């Protein structure tokens, strides 16, 4: 089995440095072009399934590939970005500040604390584990369209790393990452590749 992970295309919130979480924003003009280029790049692969977060920025990124292959998009809340509680749509600097304050006041780790109702990294990992149990064993090629922090957590789960390792990963808008199952481990074949987007920025 091979998994192709795609982070959604750019949104105005990405450009403006605003936290998105479960806020259901659309792709901006560049993001829509990135989605088209992702579809162009991946349409030569006959995917058995296309999974996506149900938030429209992820679905819109998956749509060109779905259209090209005639494979329906299977949406799920399990692939959503981290919920940001009362910090939805806040500047990223405010989100970082809320984490620093919570850690300082409670002594809780960055990966377990929930400032202002934010999902913890462990909460997101629990969703990811539930999602991966849905993947059919007999599928050869699976595409997964999701979000930055969710994709970081997916990587940790697949390679058997603790959730605390999620900060070691970073994914650009419209990037492609692939993992291949090889006997007893997931091998990272491609990481955060954006070569198909050259010339769009």
Active site residues per annotation: 8, 81
Question: Taking the CB of residue 21, how many other CB atoms lie within 10 A of it?
Answer: 23
Which residues does 104 contact at the CB level (< 8 Å), separation at least 6?
Answer: none
- Residue whose pair of structure tokens reads 């006041």 in the numeric block: 105
| Residue pair 121/110 in contact by the 8 Å Cβ criterion | yes
Give the other-Cβ count within 10 Å of 183's Cβ.
5
Residue in the structure block whose two tokens are 């605390």:
164
């Amino acid at each position: 089995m091979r998994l192709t992970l795609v982070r959604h295309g750019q949104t105005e919130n990405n450009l403006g440095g605003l936290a998105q979480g479960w806020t259901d924003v659309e792709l901006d003009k560049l993001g829509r072009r990135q989605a088209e280029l992702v579809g162009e790049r991946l349409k030569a692969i006959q995917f058995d399934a296309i999974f996506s977060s149900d938030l429209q920025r992820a679905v819109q990124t998956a749509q060109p590939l779905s259209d090209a292959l005639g494979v329906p998009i299977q949406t799920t809340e399990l692939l959503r970005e981290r919920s940001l509680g009362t910090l939805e749509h806040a500047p990223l600097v405010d989100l970082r500040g809320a984490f620093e304050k919570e850690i300082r006041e409670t002594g809780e780790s960055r990966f377990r604390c929930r400032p202002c109702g934010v999902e913890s990294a462990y909460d997101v990992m629990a969703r990811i584990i539930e999602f991966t149990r849905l993947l059919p064993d007999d599928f050869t090629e699976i595409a997964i369209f999701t979000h930055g922090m969710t994709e970081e957590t997916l990587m940790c789960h697949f390679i058997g790393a603790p959730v605390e390792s999620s900060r070691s990963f970073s994914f650009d808008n419209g990037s492609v990452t692939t993992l291949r199952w090889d006997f007893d481990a997931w091998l990272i074949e491609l990481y955060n590749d954006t070569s198909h987007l050259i010339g769009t920025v």
